[in-house]
Amino acid sequence: MAEVRFLLTGDTSVTVEFGNEISTEINAKIRAFNIALQQSKIPGIVETVPTYRSLAVHYDPEVILYGALVKKLKGLLGQLDSIQIPPSDVLEIPVLYGGEEGPDIEFVAEHNGKTVQEVIDIHTSTEYLIYMLGFTPGFTYLGGMSEEIATPRLKTPRVLIPGGSVGIAGAQTGVYPIDSPGGWQLIGRTPVRMYDPDRATPILPEAGQYIKFYAIDKAEYDRIAALEAGEGYTVRRHPRKEAAE
Amino acid sequence: MSITIINPGMMTTVQDLGRVGYQQFGVSVSGVMCPRSATLANILVGNEDGEAVLECTMMGPQIQFDTDNCIAITGGDLGPMLDGKPVANYTAIAVKAGQVLRFTMPKVGCRAFVSFAGGLDIEPVMGSRSTYMKAKIGGVEGRKLQKGDVIKFRAPKADLPKLDLRHMAPEFKPRAEYTVRVVLGPQDDYFTDEGVKAFLSEVYTVTPEFDRMGCRLSGAVIAHKDGGDIISDGISFGAIQVPSSGTPIIMLGDRQTTGGYTKIANVISADFRILAQLKAGDKVRFEKVSITAAQDALIAQKKALKCLRSALDPKV
């Protein structure tokens, strides 16, 4: 493993950098370190922010100074191998593919010489790792989409993409959590609210979890949408089985 | 038990010390652009440090009170008047029902913070009352204030103990050139030696591209070794982001939680009070300090705030 670096990100935050590339291995280490840090009870930690390659640790210098914190974080790194890290959850996200909800799915199919059904089959066949969240509340940076359905962004971005839209941009896929402008090719929409500020858990996905999409029909979409508008819909989830390597 | 916004001014929002704990989910921290000034405004009227205040930018609002309450205005001097008579900044003022607070024009700096004794009756979203406009949450409907908005008080106080002692000297002094202290990192090693040298020796000018997300500066190019793009990582308040163009942007309250541009340095917390008052055309020079010096300065500032609080409102 590349040497872990401690980078100054101001005087109330330190970034623990695990590597300089996008890799599942680095992400797994960040997740493990984040879990270990939460269990460690190091005083003065305010919040942590995992990204592709690092964990930003925000802290209160009135409680712990930089030097003392880095010493503790280094100690924690040394113990990482002995800490039990639970398997990641896989969130099962229902998607109504094509039609009004996924107006670009034919283009994605045509661009890749596939049928629409093949695009759906490929898109729903993978467990996508949530490397990090950012950009807007609940926006997930997912990894692992098949190159077979990779499609360039729209030349002219749309002014308004409804929240819940599922899209493809290059070799990336993801869900727009809130209404926003954007240039992704839209292939479907989920009735699940990835983000609801008034919910006890405002944001559904967490960095380090996986998302698996599955296709639903309009009736199921409407049923889940109605639940989300009322008492809420509970997404199915299961612990991920480690792929045999 | 409320205030009514007669004129919202240019850009007035409800802010507290920010929405902490949700950055990992992509939620911006938001919060006041100057935590120190907002905290001082709160201390002067006997509030907790993190009580929500109105953050007013350049042209301040016009506000009518329908209840007696004590307020304090800190930060820049936007020319506050109560019923047409000038009132002092950094001073607790007992306002009577029916009176109108307005701001004439920015005289010093550009952001003022108005605290209200007993706090504003705004439902916290994800633990904070801060307005986060991009996600349309917090404050009043997640937006800047509009004419006709009514904001209720939670526990107004017509008077405060030691009212005549609740004042201090305004802190922000206009200068021909501001020195802002920074700690280098996290990506200072992505820049050439000349790039870092330019950053630490040249004078930069604040451009009109200055909002709650960030402040773009113009000046000598800060050269990268190999471009300004990185694999995204986290962004702190005061991070100085330098994209491939080589001109810096200081990231502020409504910054995104993560970003893919190199950050050469971070403004130290003790100097956020300068950042918050910069205006287009102001000149800035960056001075490198050690992390120890930065944290010492912050802790000293916080100690002074605690002293002020215990002098005004000794804990029972």
Same domain membership, residue B78 and residue B9:
yes
Which pLDDT tens digit goes with each residue over A2-24? 689 999 999 999 999 999 989 99
Interface mutation vs chain B, best among A4, A9, A11, most B CBs within 10 Å:
A11
Same domain membership, residue B271 and residue B123:
no
Percent of chain A with pLDDT over 90: 87
Instruction: Give the mean model confidence (pLDDT) for residues B227-252.
Output: 94
Using the beta-carbon criterion (under 8 Å), do B184 and A206 form an inter-chain contact?
Answer: no
Within a domain: B306? no
Same domain membership, residue B153 and residue B54:
yes
pLDDT-wise least confident of A66-70, A80-84, A103-107, B195-199: A80-84
Tell which residue, A37, A99, A38, has the closest CA to residue A70: A37
Same domain membership, residue B146 and residue B78:
yes
B233 shares contact with chain A (CB less than 8 Å)? yes
| Domain C-terminal end among B165, B186, B208 | B165
Q: Looking at the predicted structure, is the pLDDT value of residue B101 above 90?
A: yes
Within a domain: B314? no
Within a domain: B250? yes
Tell which residue, B174, B97, B99, has the closest CA to residue B87: B99
Structure confidence at residue A2 (pLDDT): 64
Which pLDDT tens digit goes with each residue over B153-177? 999 999 999 999 999 999 999 999 9
Provide the pLDDT confidence category of residue B126 given band limits of 50, 70 and 90. very high
Within a domain: B197? yes
Same domain membership, residue B151 and residue B205:
no
- Report d(CA A228, CA A224) in Å as an integer: 6
Mean pLDDT of chain A: 94
Same domain membership, residue B145 and residue B17:
yes
* DSSP states along A185-238: EEEEE-SS-SB-TTSSSSB---TT-EEEEEE--HHHHHHHHHHHHTT--PPPEE
Same domain membership, residue B247 and residue B133:
no
Which pLDDT tens digit goes with each residue over A190-214? 999 999 998 999 999 999 999 999 9
Within a domain: B147? yes
Q: Domain range holding B20?
A: 2-165
Same domain membership, residue B190 and residue B158:
no
ipTM for the whole complex: 0.95
Q: How far apart are the first and last CA of chain A?
A: 18
Q: Looking at the predicted structure, is the pLDDT value of residue B106 above 70?
A: yes
Structure confidence at residue A243 (pLDDT): 58
Q: Which of B20, B126, B266 sits opposite A8 (nearest CB)?
A: B266
Instruction: Give the mean model confidence (pLDDT) for residues B223-244.
Output: 94
Within a domain: B304? no
Within a domain: B303? no
Mean pLDDT of chain B: 96
- Nearest Cα of chain A lies from the Cα of B185 at a distance, in angstroms, of 5
Which pLDDT tens digit goes with each residue over A106-139? 999 999 999 999 999 999 999 999 999 998 999 9
Structure confidence at residue A3 (pLDDT): 87
Q: Which of A15, A50, A54 sits opposite B24 (nearest CB)?
A: A50
Q: Looking at the predicted structure, is the pLDDT value of residue A85 above 90?
A: no
Q: How far is CA A71 from CA A6, A56, A79, A114, B241, in A?
A: 10, 16, 13, 54, 28
Q: Looking at the predicted structure, is the pLDDT value of residue B178 above 80?
A: yes
* Number of domains observed in the structure of chain B: 2
| Alpha helices per DSSP H over A93-200 | 105-111, 116-123
Using the beta-carbon criterion (under 8 Å), do B258 and A15 form an inter-chain contact?
Answer: no
Instruction: Give the mean model confidence (pLDDT) for residues B179-199.
Output: 98
- Kindly list the structural domains of chain A, giving each domain's residue range(s) and its CATH number in brackets, ordered by start: 5-82 (3.30.1360.40), 89-239 (2.40.100.10)
Q: How many CB contacts within 8 angstroms connect chain A with chain B?
A: 138
Q: Give the domain CATH number at B232.
A: 2.40.100.10
Same domain membership, residue B147 and residue B106:
yes
Using the beta-carbon criterion (under 8 Å), do A9 and B257 form an inter-chain contact?
Answer: no
Interface mutation vs chain A, best among B19, B25, B269, B302, most A CBs within 10 Å:
B25
- Nearest Cα of chain A lies from the Cα of B255 at a distance, in angstroms, of 10
Same domain membership, residue B126 and residue B188:
no
Within a domain: B313? no
Provide the pLDDT confidence category of residue A181 given band limits of 50, 70 and 90. confident
Q: Looking at the predicted structure, is the pLDDT value of residue A148 above 90?
A: yes
Nearest residue of B to residue A18 by CA position? B233
Structure confidence at residue A244 (pLDDT): 43
Instruction: Give the mean model confidence (pLDDT) for residues B6-16.
Output: 98
Instruction: Give the mean model confidence (pLDDT) for residues A34-56.
Output: 95
Same domain membership, residue B272 and residue B225:
yes
| Alpha helices per DSSP H over chain A | 24-40, 66-78, 105-111, 116-123, 218-229
Q: Looking at the predicted structure, is the pLDDT value of residue B243 above 80?
A: yes
Instruction: Give the mean model confidence (pLDDT) for residues B85-114.
Output: 98
Chain B positions touching A9 (Cβ under 8 A) are: 185-186, 234-236, 239, 263, 266
Same domain membership, residue B68 and residue B205:
no
Structure confidence at residue A1 (pLDDT): 54
Using the beta-carbon criterion (under 8 Å), do B269 and A10 form an inter-chain contact?
Answer: yes
Instruction: Give the mean model confidence (pLDDT) for residues A156-184.
Output: 93
3-state secondary structure of A133: strand
| Residue, of B35 and A182, whose pLDDT is higher | B35
Q: Looking at the predicted structure, is the pLDDT value of residue A245 above 70?
A: no
Chain A positions touching B126 (Cβ under 8 A) are: 197, 202
Strands of the sheet containing B85-86, edge to edge, are B85-86, B80-82, B100-103, B62-65, B2-7, B150-152
